[in-house]
Structure 1
């Protein structure tokens, strides 16, 4: 059982996080676990949001990694050894020193792969650091198009914003809106997703009346005062507003309420702010708001297993499951790549991760144990994970992915409506 002490409990700095043993091997490349006698135990690091504006995504992502490692170890581990985890905080783009410190610590302790970050802007700040150290980075939540094909040591289990942007733009058009205002945070994720939503809206005959690409109306990450932005946006008389932000969304909603905006059927969220807000707002405030989230809807059995793990290891309850499946799959893919290559170093994982995701075809497997069995039989494998993504393509992006459409009720929490499948 993998346990951790929550970094939220007083550990705001990455330097305070406990870090573990090195995981490197010089075993020759191979298949089916050759070289396992000399392989070091696989140690996976995490760089996930325990603090900062994306901290609401931390619990489900942590649970996804922890549950995956438990499943791997219950199936016999990687190349004969149990996998261990070194937990780290990514913070957010308002203070990149948190992520930088975590990356330095994880590299110094010799982890072979890291799961994270959640923020594309954070990953762009540390991805070169990991690659130079030969550490494979697998993000469960990065969607910025800037990261497509970034390098051999970066992959993701969430689709790029070309997929989510098309889905969100199409939903806005399907709801009959043609004059769309954007409130967008000024960093890689916000700008990239806005660009793709705007393209979809314009291709359908709509227009961006505020916050458009090149208009210079984005806000800085961490902004708390949105009076001027909301006043300027509403002056353009939009019939819909798309909010592309993180924790700043609470202040944005409060300002829109103060200025009389009607939310039902006119307001749209995305993965960065699709959260259960509950009593943070008056009942009914968000009723009718819609949002998108990459990934297939987690089934009830998987949700229960995630909750059980989080309750036992973190003494808490999960409020939602955003990117839990992608975090689980990222961890399983790293372990299967090590098994296929017969070693646990980052280069081996980088060399084999596409293949175990199904890029070479092969036997479909749905668990780590099934994957190991097929590899030991000399088969190529296609790991069909919890998130429902297609094999990694040449850019190390999922070749296909589902985007969930969700809608808020009177209790300011969201429920699943439907999914659409798109290709990267």
Structure 2
């Protein structure tokens, strides 16, 4: 365990192994509670909830197939907490954080143990998970403890309107799916093969891509809904699937997967697939592969990623925070802005409700996101000043999302389009804004 001192804020990181061991003890000896208060505040304006310092937990991927998303998400949360505390904290107290590992959908016991641990430690808010399937495995656990869960990366439509204790700062697949399909069709492709992992995220995103393709007069020639071609998360052998897919003579392939993508690419290479301008990734596998493949392997591959492109100043801040606190180099920025915004929204909701318990945050998060209109604010500090002046606020954060709707989904969001070069790393091409249909 290491302790990282940042100003007046003590940030504690627990290793995955120690976190799991502690969670096992907590599950036997601790009662689940969201805070020292019973979380029963019933007003969006000072509901008589907890006055304890706000404690935020994370359930983000330190291990597993989405571990590449952990560093930027962790940096986003950590930087936001530092900024909040530099501005005076929440209701006069510094915000503290309990770090936790989500693992992935191949072993949901990791996330369950982390949720037990965070609840036992009295967090009011849990930022995460990255995987929609993981969130579906713990969302009820958090809700029963009146802990507000805010995901910076979940996109599965199954989570829209799931409950009052779940919100997200990433758009659902109803936005990314059509954007991904438009990218494929815009490149002149109309016979698309899918390689899809068999869980909520993979199936859901594939369905929305396929629906948009078919609406455009195109077809899924392999791996479509109902065909039974999905693979289990963690699969490593794709020889038979790639053979069957290529036999259908697709003019494009969309890969909806996580870490399994490395094995998929290697199999496609061995069977002679030309990736340039014909292959498409999504947020789950849009990663810098560097020397994982021979130079030029991924050249011309494109991918879609929900969220606005982080500007240079914000990237520099994230990089500095990660270097100082994690002693590493931040190489990816996926969902960093959404993680930052999730943390700030939680803090502003506590300020508006004048309490730090999960119920109060749940009751006020839509309002501070701009659901009721109000003064636009770009920082936590600006938001606090406006709230203290009696104004409604619309927090315009780093990710560029619109106010949360009644399903606690952002009403609009950007989808970034990225392209791989000869070095097997991706660069930003452009972004489009999508609206979320009610």
- Provide the C-alpha distance between the structure 2 equivalents of 1:149 and 1:397, rounded to a whole number of angstroms: 8
- Provide the C-alpha distance between the structure 1 equivalents of 2:344 and 2:168, rounded to a whole number of angstroms: 13
Q: Who is 1:313 aligned against?
A: 325
Q: 1:409 and 2:421 equivalent?
A: yes
- Provide the C-alpha distance between the structure 1 equivalents of 2:24 and 2:275, rounded to a whole number of angstroms: 41
Correspondence for 2:134 among 119, 122, 132: 122
Is this contact kept in 2: 1:112–1:345, CA < 8 A? yes
Correspondence for 1:87 among 95, 99, 112: 99
Question: Residue 418 and residue 139 in structure 1: after superposition, are their counterparts in 2 closer, same or farther (change >3 A)?
Answer: same
- Provide the C-alpha distance between the structure 2 equivalents of 1:299 and 1:17, rounded to a whole number of angstroms: 41
Question: Residue 116 and residue 271 in structure 1: after superposition, are their counterparts in 2 closer, same or farther (change >3 A)?
Answer: same
Correspondence for 1:299 among 304, 308, 311: 311
- Provide the C-alpha distance between the structure 2 equivalents of 1:91 and 1:388, rounded to a whole number of angstroms: 28
TM-superposed CA distance for 1:245, in Å, is: 0.2
- Provide the C-alpha distance between the structure 1 equivalents of 2:325 and 2:23, rounded to a whole number of angstroms: 19
Task: Please state whether the residue corresponding to 1:404 is helix, strand or coil.
Answer: strand
Q: Who is 1:41 aligned against?
A: 53
Question: Residue 34 and residue 97 in structure 1: after superposition, are their counterparts in 2 closer, same or farther (change >3 A)?
Answer: closer
Question: Residue 94 and residue 390 in structure 1: after superposition, are their counterparts in 2 closer, same or farther (change >3 A)?
Answer: same
- Provide the C-alpha distance between the structure 2 equivalents of 1:219 and 1:257, rounded to a whole number of angstroms: 19
- Provide the C-alpha distance between the structure 1 equivalents of 2:314 and 2:412, rounded to a whole number of angstroms: 21
Q: Deviations over 1:58-78 (max 9, x none)?
A: 000000000000000000000
Q: Who is 2:11 aligned against?
A: 3
Q: Who is 1:372 aligned against?
A: 384
Q: Who is 2:230 aligned against?
A: 218
Is this contact kept in 1: 2:43–2:363, CA < 8 A? no
Is this contact kept in 2: 1:407–1:416, CA < 8 A? yes
Task: Please state whether the residue corresponding to 1:350 is helix, strand or coil.
Answer: helix
TM-superposed CA distance for 1:108, in Å, is: 1.3
How do residues 334-413 of structure 1 correspond to structure 2 at under 5 angstroms?
A: 334-413=346-425
TM-score, structure 1 normalization: 0.96
Is this contact kept in 2: 1:4–1:313, CA < 8 A? no
Task: Please state whether the residue corresponding to 2:15 is helix, strand or coil.
Answer: coil
Q: Which moved more, 1:25-34 or 1:178-187?
A: 25-34
Q: Deviations over 1:291-325 (max 9, x none)?
A: 00000000000000000000000000111100000
Is this contact kept in 1: 2:23–2:116, CA < 8 A? no
Q: Deviations over 1:12-45 (max 9, x none)?
A: 7374799999744469666787979x71000000
Q: Who is 2:180 aligned against?
A: 168
TM-score, structure 2 normalization: 0.93
Question: Residue 103 and residue 27 in structure 1: after superposition, are their counterparts in 2 closer, same or farther (change >3 A)?
Answer: closer
- Provide the C-alpha distance between the structure 2 equivalents of 1:170 and 1:51, rounded to a whole number of angstroms: 33
Question: Residue 115 and residue 157 in structure 1: after superposition, are their counterparts in 2 closer, same or farther (change >3 A)?
Answer: same
Question: Residue 232 and residue 101 in structure 1: after superposition, are their counterparts in 2 closer, same or farther (change >3 A)?
Answer: same
Q: Who is 2:163 aligned against?
A: 151
Is this contact kept in 2: 1:42–1:344, CA < 8 A? yes
Is this contact kept in 2: 1:18–1:86, CA < 8 A? no
How do residues 157-306 of structure 1 correspond to structure 2 at under 5 angstroms?
A: 157-306=169-318
Correspondence for 1:106 among 92, 112, 118: 118
Consecutive unaligned residues in structure 2, runs of 5 or more: 1-5
Is this contact kept in 1: 2:34–2:146, CA < 8 A? no
Q: Who is 2:20 aligned against?
A: 13
Q: Deviations over 1:148-198 (max 9, x none)?
A: 000000000000001000100000000000000000000000000000000
Q: 1:332 and 2:340 equivalent?
A: no
Consecutive unaligned residues in structure 1, runs of 5 or more: none
Task: Please state whether the residue corresponding to 1:13 is helix, strand or coil.
Answer: helix
